[in-house]
Amino acid sequence: MTRFATFAILAASVLAPACTDDLPPPNTPPPGSTSGGTGDTFDHENNQISPWDLLQRIEVEGPPSYTSHTHSCPKVRYANLGNVLTDLGINASNTTMLSAGELYTDGYNALGGPNFANRIRENIGITISGASREFDIFAAAAPEVIAAFTNQTGAIATRCPGAQLFDTTGSIPTCRPDGIECLIGVPPQTEHVDYCNLTIQNASSPTEGEQLAVAAMLAAAYTCE
Amino acid sequence: MAKHPFTKRDEHRDLTRRALIKWSVAAGAALGVSRAKVFDILEKTAGKDTAFAAAQNPTTRSVHIVAGNGGLAWFTQLWPYNSVAAAKNPSFAYAYAGQTTLAPDTDKPLTVGPVTPWATMPGSQQVTCFQCGNNETHTRQPQSVVGLNGSNIFSVASALQSASPSVIPIVTIGDVDIGTAPGGATPANVTDGNAIVGLFNSAASRAGGLLSNTSDASLYKAHYDAFTQLNRAAGTSTTKLAYTTASGAAGFLGTNLSAKLQITQADRTRYGMTGSTRSNVQAIGEAMIVAVKAFALGLTNSVVLPAMDDDPHGAFDGGDINIVPQQITAIFNAFMADLNAAIDPVTMENLWNDTVITIHGDTHKDPLTPGGWPDGTANNSNTVYVYSAGHLMSGWFGDYTPGGGGTAVGFDMNGAAATYNGANTAKYAMASIAYAIAKRDSRAISQFANGITVEGIFGREPTM
């Protein structure tokens, strides 16, 4: 072997590792990743909904253009809430402190009522403050509603003549479907009656339980307009 | 200049860490794991730095004071223009001529006087003052000092703060206008500071109320959730968010916060409120008292309130200039002391490090003419004051020089003194406020700032 060849082998053995050092680092993206490295790809959002899940949802619910119209959940508008209260036999103009009527009147802002003077339209989205005030009104209204059913007074007498919320013949009251139907505006499912009975049984007292059941059913029925 | 590979690497790691924090907290919320537990897990798996970063609120709270109808003029007594104060001329519209000093260790010169709030705080924590926007004399809702590329800074604040969940994102008092911004929250509006309590308090949870018993409150929430599941549309994707919010409200109904938020006599005493305190000053104090309590409980992130609204043309002539600024300062100092005493239950940090305060108005009135304190300002200029919790450079950007009957000095995109331009200076100032609220996160404000660079010019460099 010539001296030149020996030198060439030695030079190659030194330079080859140096060349290897200059190579870019291996760029193997992890499974499912859309990013190779900071220098060559844009790391975009990679956790979108599965197309199969989306397809199934569209089959069940319909396309977004349809669902957003039929299944949207805007809050109950301020004026409409007043109508609901009146139809349940509640005096919406009651000024007694902490009565349902007073909470309704004073809750105009929390309920997102329109502010026409400042050109602010009624907020149609459900917010914590708005929903909690609405539910607060229903909680305060529960005794009034129960009394209206029991005594068949106010709008209840004309809307649902004879309907009663509770059967009080037993030691613990039980819920009646006709009363629940009048309360929530749609025929109740068996589960409505079961949950209603459970509420009464698990509350601190049957009277509290009746009120809790009415408040919870009203809140659930009128969460969305 | 191209970024150094190490800088790029660090930025990439920073983004990755933010993504890890974001998704960890989100996953924790979805799985019902407390934030504290999520931080524990992060500390064990991703290290102390990441856990520490996760435990921070990504944005600050904010209090925005809109001193319309000339009310902003009072605040020139709190933070005088450097050149006006330096002139020590008793015939100028600054009541404490010759009694001022330059605050030490501020980034830009800042003059403090006998009624400057928070004057003893470190220089880096002192206020940032912007000579910016246009004079909009006699409006309660100035626009030139709240706009940021078509969005309103108050609404921008709520959009940024959506990263820090709260019960009511933004509360407005009276007729203040928070405009709009992409992603901005809908405000809950109340008549005064006292009425904020009512936003967070339910009648049902009070003594004798239907949910005053804790077990009944839990039962109500559980059965509300059960009843909603019987609604046919409750499971659809388009109603999911609304029902989730409503479910939160059902749980919130059983919580009585009245005692914790109510303004007490002790609060009033601490804020220096007496029978002689002006009603408009008292109104600011009441809003601040409730705001700091609501911040500490994580109930809201932002409060926007009107202030003063008294067009004080006769302040110097009638002697009010020796009364009202002291009262405002007493309230501001008490507010800061409250923020310092309040601890964020999540981050365990003092709220004064986590709250931005901004003051806007229609006109600061003529700083050179006390008699009748005219509304006109040189170059039709205006001023915005910002307490940035140390996120912005402290001191004045711009000035108001007395020479030649008064000249407003503006500043350019690099923060250097420049010919006054109301629109541009306001943009830089509003972008800076957004930057402070976003805790120096330039990416978070980029959609609003639209190319304005705050970092390193008006705002301090990110620490994370």
For residue B405, the distance in angstroms to the closest alpha carbon of chain A comes to 38
Cα distance between residue B448 and residue B301, in whole Å? 19
CB A195 within 8 A of CB B227: yes
Contact at CB, A129 and B206, closer than 8 angstroms = no
- 3-state DSSP assignment of residue A24: coil
Contact at CB, A198 and B253, closer than 8 angstroms = no
Count of A-B CB contacts under 8 Å: 163
Residue from A112, A115, A224 nearest B186 by CA:
A112
Q: Which residue has the higher pLDDT, A1 or B364?
A: B364
> Rounded to two decimals, what is the model's pTM?
0.67
Q: CA of A217: which chain B residue's CA is closest?
A: B227
Quick one: tokens of B191?
A: 């008549």
Q: Which of B224, B228, B304 to mutate to test the interface with A (most CBs of A within 10 A)?
A: B224
CB B248 within 8 A of CB A128: yes
Residue B34: predicted pLDDT: 47
Nearest Cβ partner of B238 from A71, A112, A191?
A71
Residue A187: partners with Cβ closer than 8 Å, 6 or more residues away: A177, A181
Contact at CB, B249 and A128, closer than 8 angstroms = yes
Contact at CB, A139 and B210, closer than 8 angstroms = yes
Residue B438: predicted pLDDT: 94
pLDDT exceeding 70 applies to what percent of chain A?
Answer: 75
For residue B61, the distance in angstroms to the closest alpha carbon of chain A comes to 19
Residue A130: predicted pLDDT: 83
Contact at CB, B238 and A139, closer than 8 angstroms = no
Contact at CB, B227 and A192, closer than 8 angstroms = yes
Please identify which residue in the block is written with the tokens 């009146």.
A86
Residue B30: predicted pLDDT: 44
Q: Which residue has the higher pLDDT, A66 or A200?
A: A200
Mean pLDDT of A98-110: 86
Residue A195: partners with Cβ closer than 8 Å, 6 or more residues away: A213, B223, B226, B227, B230
- Checking A37-40 for CB contacts under 8 A at 24+ apart, the result is A38/B8, A38/B9, A38/B12, A39/B8
Nearest Cβ partner of B250 from A38, A198, A219?
A219
- Sign of the C-alpha dihedral computed for residues B72, B74, B75 and B79 taken in this order: positive
Cα distance between residue A160 and residue A158, in whole Å? 6
Which residues of chain B does A122 touch, with a Cβ-Cβ cutoff of 8 Å? Answer: none
Which residues of chain B does A212 touch, with a Cβ-Cβ cutoff of 8 Å? Answer: 210, 216, 219-220, 223
Nearest Cβ partner of B219 from A120, A203, A217?
A203
Mean pLDDT of A135-154: 93
Q: CA of A195: which chain B residue's CA is closest?
A: B223
What amino acid is encoded at B341 in this protein? Answer: A
Which residues of chain B does A203 touch, with a Cβ-Cβ cutoff of 8 Å? Answer: 216, 219
For residue B300, the distance in angstroms to the closest alpha carbon of chain A comes to 11
Mean pLDDT of A65-73: 75
In what helix (H) or strand (E) does residue B155 lie, and over which residues does it extend? helix B153-161
Contact at CB, A135 and B249, closer than 8 angstroms = yes
Rg (CA), chain B: 23
What is the interface pTM, i.e. ipTM, of the complex? 0.76
Q: Which of A197, A223, A224, A225 to mutate to test the interface with B (most CBs of B within 10 A)?
A: A223
Contact at CB, B188 and A129, closer than 8 angstroms = yes
Q: Which residues of B17-54 are buried (b: 16+ CB within 10 A; e: fewer)?
A: bbebbeebbeebeeeeeebeebbeebbeebeeebbebb
Which residues of chain B does A61 touch, with a Cβ-Cβ cutoff of 8 Å? Answer: 236-238
Q: CA of A222: which chain B residue's CA is closest?
A: B228
Residue B111: is it exposed, middle or buried by C-beta count within 10 angstroms (0-12/13-18/19+)?
A: buried
Which residues of chain A does B19 touch, with a Cβ-Cβ cutoff of 8 Å? Answer: none
Residue B27: predicted pLDDT: 53
Contact at CB, B175 and A219, closer than 8 angstroms = no
Helix, strand, coil percentages in chain B from 3-state DSSP, rounded to 5: 45, 15, 40
Which residues of chain A does B236 touch, with a Cβ-Cβ cutoff of 8 Å? Answer: 61, 67, 71
For residue B439, the distance in angstroms to the closest alpha carbon of chain A comes to 24
Q: CA of B172: which chain A residue's CA is closest?
A: A109
Residue B116: predicted pLDDT: 98
Query: Each residue's pLDDT tens digit in chain B (464 positions)?
Result: 455 555 555 555 554 554 555 555 555 544 444 455 555 555 555 555 555 555 567 899 999 999 999 999 999 999 999 999 999 999 999 999 999 999 999 999 999 999 999 999 999 999 999 999 999 999 999 999 999 999 999 999 998 987 776 778 899 999 999 999 887 888 888 889 988 887 777 888 887 888 888 899 999 999 999 999 888 777 777 788 788 888 888 888 887 777 788 899 999 999 999 999 999 999 999 999 999 999 988 788 999 999 999 999 999 999 999 999 999 999 999 999 999 999 876 677 889 999 999 999 999 999 999 999 999 999 999 999 999 999 999 999 999 999 989 999 999 999 999 999 999 999 999 999 999 999 999 999 998 999 999 999 999 999 75
Contact at CB, A135 and B199, closer than 8 angstroms = no
Beta partners for residue B304, in sequence order: B64, B172
Contact at CB, B253 and A103, closer than 8 angstroms = no
CB B171 within 8 A of CB B196: yes
For residue A35, the distance in angstroms to the closest alpha carbon of chain B comes to 12
DSSP B2: P
Nearest Cβ partner of B239 from A71, A110, A115?
A71
Contact at CB, A216 and B248, closer than 8 angstroms = no
Residue B130: partners with Cβ closer than 8 Å, 6 or more residues away: B383, B384, B385, B386, B396, B397, B398, B411, B425, B426, B428, B429, B432
